[in-house]
Amino acid sequence: MAQTITQIRGLLSYIGSCHLLFKRVRRYVLMHLYNPLFGAHGRNFSFDPDGEYYFENIFVGDDVSLGSRPTLIASRSSIHIGNKVMFGPEVTIRGGNHNTTFIGKYMIDVRDVDKRPEDDLGVVIDDDVWIGTRAIILHGVTVGRGAIVAAGAVVTRSVPPYSVVAGVPAKVIKFRWDVDTILRHEETLYPIEKRFSRKYLEKIQNEQRLMGRVK
């Protein structure tokens, strides 16, 4: 009996190993098949082939991981993702919206040709952004450099650089660092022409303080 159990365990382990190998090979093959379909992408680009993509309207920089099972849809606009960006699982980005004001048609019957320009605004994810699990980013949003979008957040407005946003709808809950620390951080990572100025950083942080969102 003990020998039979050992044999069954060995068989199950072998089947599991074969299944894992199949999944890895399938992922590798599909990634190479889908890679050329993107509008453009840089080096070290990782994505889940089982996600949902509007490939030709998605543009991706270097060192980007889109996480598992994302949804990136932009039928009439575009999604631009910068460098050094990482997604948690099941992130959704939608570079468009339904036209719900169309008279004389059921909403399900409204097609892309019936949309207004303001219904399809693109999405920009800047460099060094982390987007948490199942966050949703809607059309017209820019997520600023160094920002963090918390898990489950629904982002309907643009996100200031180096801020942390959370909630439904997403709001700024804090900044990662004070202005002096951000300046030191940028001095280490970016050439002088790409760095934010002190004046700009103070402006965006003061705006959030005036709205009572951060201290």
> Can you tell me which residue has the tokens 């920089």?
61
Query: Which phi and psi angles does 143 have, rounded to 5°?
Result: -100, 115
Out of 19, 32, 80, 98, which one is annotated catalytic? Answer: 98
160: closest CA among 121, 126, 190? Answer: 126
Amino acid in the structure at residue 15: I
The DSSP line for the chain is -HHHHHHHHHHHHHHHHHHHHHHHHHHHHHHHHHGGGSSB--SSEE--TTSEE-GGGEEE-SSEE--SS-EEE-SSS-EEE-SSEEE-TT-EEES-------TTS-GGG--GGG--GGG---EEE-SS-EE-TT-EE-TT-EE-TT-EE-TT-EE-S-B-TTEEEETTTTEEEEESS-HHHHHHHHHHHS-GGGSPPHHHHHHHHHHHHHTTS--
Residue 19 annotated as catalytic: no
Catalytic residues: 98
